[in-house]
Amino acid sequence: MSRKLMLKRISITGPESSGKTWLSKRLADYYKAHFVEEYSREYLAVHGADYVMEDVVNIAKGQLESENRVAEKCENVLFCDTDMLVTKIWCEVVYGSCPEWIENKFNDHVYDLYLLCYPDIPWEDDPLRENPNDRDVLFELYQSALIKKGLPFKVVKGLGDERLKNAVTFVNEILQ
């Protein structure tokens, strides 16, 4: 069996300021694995924070390209700090609809596990964040989309080491 067939891709997903980047880095360290950084930060740093739907599609494409590039270096597990679900919900919330390309990628590019970060950690201000007051509503949109599509997910809660420990428990279940 080729190493690519054995690679487990794990998405760290959820609303803004719910600890996706923190968790992605900690899980990669814990498992001595790679993680894919959130491409939107890189894109918006170059193009500015005033974006249109076309920018979100470009961000989604860049995210997938980054993920596939990093996956080439992996043997066991890959942690992805965001996914097509993030861009799908982003478009639906900001624009009221989602481009077909993102919808298709969300349907086709599935992960072995989605770790859905619950927004039980304090909001951290950031010039690229937009939704400090509706993280619970956004969380419900994520959870609903995962349930509707029947995707394998676990909700990660807790602060600091407790949050990491909970995520490790879920990851270990699929690596066995």
pLDDT digits (tens, 9 = 90+) for 22-36: 999 999 999 999 999
Residue 135: which of 116, 152, 150 has the closest Cα? 116
Give tens-digit pLDDT for 142-171.
999 999 999 999 999 999 999 999 999 999
Supply the range of the domain harboring residue 38: 3-175
pTM, entire model = 0.91
What's the CATH number where 106 sits? 3.40.50.300
Domain count, the chain: 1
User: Where do runs of H (alpha helix) occur along 97-159?
Assistant: 100-108, 135-149
Residue bearing tokens 């043997």: 75
